[in-house]
Amino acid sequence: MTVRSSNVVPCAFRGLVAVSVKRGHHQKGFSFDAMCYIIDAGAAMRAQGDTMTNDHEKQKNAKTYEYFVNQDRYETDQPALTGAQIKARIPNLQPGTGLSLEGHGHDPDRLIGDDELVQLDTGHGPARFTLVPPATFG
């Protein structure tokens, strides 16, 4: 037997009847077997509401970290990223391009290696990076 159709019918008793109709062969032609499930719609909606609320709360409480590469703004939910992770988000980046982190106050700028972890939540505002083109000698 194969399932040919499925119907969901709301009922006056505030429940939900889900009817799954299966089609089978009978000696006089076709016969239909129906399977009915009664579900408490209120409980189903409450459960769905709880799931939606939990997802919304997670999104609302999820902290985002902002940083800039040249003038382009990026966001992440990670408090720290490696140089490689930062560069991976930059479209059409030339191989060998370096990454420099702008220093705060009188701190000098510094090159960030691909495997170096950079904390994005420093309390000094968003981290600001500059792309350093690959050096060519000749």
pTM for the structure as a whole: 0.56
> Which residues span the domain enclosing 96?
65-132
The answer to whether residues 71 and 117 belong to one domain is yes
Q: How far apart, in Å, do the first and last CA atoms of the chain sit?
A: 76
Looking at the structure of the chain, the number of domains it has is 2
- Of 44, 60, 76, the last residue of a domain is 60
* Rounded (10°) CA dihedral 69, 138, 115, 58: 20
Radius of gyration over every alpha carbon of the chain, rounded to an integer in angstroms: 29
The answer to whether residues 114 and 86 belong to one domain is yes
Per-residue model confidence as pLDDT tens digits over 45-56: 444 455 555 566
Is 96 part of a structural domain of the chain? yes
Is residue 35 within 8 Å of residue 22, measured between CB atoms? yes
Q: Which position has the higher pLDDT, 18 or 135? A: 135
Q: Is a pLDDT exceeding 50 seen at residue 40?
A: yes
Residue 121 has a pLDDT of: 87
Please state, in angstroms and rounded to a whole number, the distance separating the CA atoms of residues 19 and 6: 6
Is 137 part of a structural domain of the chain? no
Mean pLDDT of the chain: 74
